[in-house]
Structure 1
Amino acid sequence: MATQSRVAEKAAGNIANLTTPDYQAQRGQVVSTSPAGAAYVPLPPEGGVDLAREVIDLGQAKQAYILAARTFSRIARTEKEALDVLA
């Protein structure tokens, strides 16, 4: 979830600077980490802001964040149910 927050922050920052003269769009990449995690790795700036790319990044980050939140919620419910069965 923290990784997707970083992606969203990057995209929002780039969009906010869309009209800033000589602004170089910030870039990053989500990479897998062990075990079953992800990290956001900043990359060197590469030219101006591509609004379509930033909007897509925001949408993908939002969906990934929602899915992760649902997964954690389901894990918590399952653990609670297991503890209730043991009680």
Structure 2
Amino acid sequence: MISSIASTTLLSGLATQSRVAQTAANNIANLTTPDYQAERGQVVSTSPAGAAYVPLPPEGEVDLTREVVDLNQAKQAYIMAARTFSRIARTEREALDVLA
């Protein structure tokens, strides 16, 4: 079974990147909304292992280029965390098969 620290780290990473993508998508969706202030957040490291998304105050107009970059980075980080989770699970299954 995947260790609790690995599990916590990977799941918090997945949740954090989902939140980054959601924020970027909200900003893109509101690009033409009058007086809309772009939502912002920051990814921070948490203890003992993991990450969290901390909302920041709204920040002026939506910058479409920034939102697309944020969305792409969140997607890539999410993919890598999901692949890592899958790889660990597969390695553990293979190790159990060897022991059986």
TM-score scaled to structure 1, two decimals? 0.97
Matched residues, number: 87
Q: What RMSD over aligned residues (CA atoms) do the two structures have, in Å?
A: 0.6
Deviation beyond 6 Å, 4+ runs, structure 1: none
Higher strand content, 1 or 2:
1
The aligned residue for residue 37 of structure 1 is 50
Q: C-alpha displacement at 1:35, in angstroms? A: 2.5
Q: C-alpha displacement at 1:34, in angstroms? A: 1.7
Structure 2 residue 87 is the aligned partner of structure 1 residue 74: yes
Q: C-alpha displacement at 1:85, in angstroms? A: 1.1
Provide the identity percentage.
87
Instruction: Give the 5 Å matches for 1:1-87.
Output: 1-87=14-100
TM-score scaled to structure 2, two decimals? 0.85
Q: Distance in 2 between matches of 1:69 and 1:26?
A: 26
Structure 2: give runs of 5+ residues left out of the alignment.
1-13
